[in-house]
Amino acid sequence: MKLLSVMQDISYGIKISWQECYLTRLMKQLTEWITQPMTEPQHRTIGHKSLTVLVNVCYGNLPAIYALMRTVDTK
């Protein structure tokens, strides 16, 4: 959870010019945490922080959006 808090801080306002090799794996992991059942308070916190990081990384960054679209089923 500490790592997600740090990622929230460093991902705010980030600019990504091209697709980095880590983006696909990061998107996959974040979406897994967001979609997990949130029955416990700790899971809700992880889901919330993961969603925040995902939004920060995707906001205004087409390479990140493309990586996200490749990792989720959009149908």
Q: What are the per-10-residue average pLDDT scores of the chain (75 residues)?
A: 91 90 92 90 92 95 92 78
CA-CA-CA-CA torsion sign (73, 34, 64, 71): negative
Residue 35 lies in a domain: yes
Residue 48 lies in a domain: yes
CA-CA-CA-CA torsion sign (49, 57, 28, 25): negative
Q: What is the pLDDT of residue 73?
A: 77
Residue 59 lies in a domain: yes
Q: Quick one: DSSP state of residue 38?
A: -
Residue 5 lies in a domain: no
Q: What is the pLDDT of residue 20?
A: 82
Residue 4 lies in a domain: no
Residue 57 lies in a domain: yes
Q: What is the pLDDT of residue 47?
A: 93
Tokens coding 13:
């306002």
pTM, two decimal places: 0.86
In angstroms, how far apart are the furthest CA atoms of the chain? 37
Q: What is the pLDDT of residue 39?
A: 87
In the chain, how many domains are there?
Answer: 1
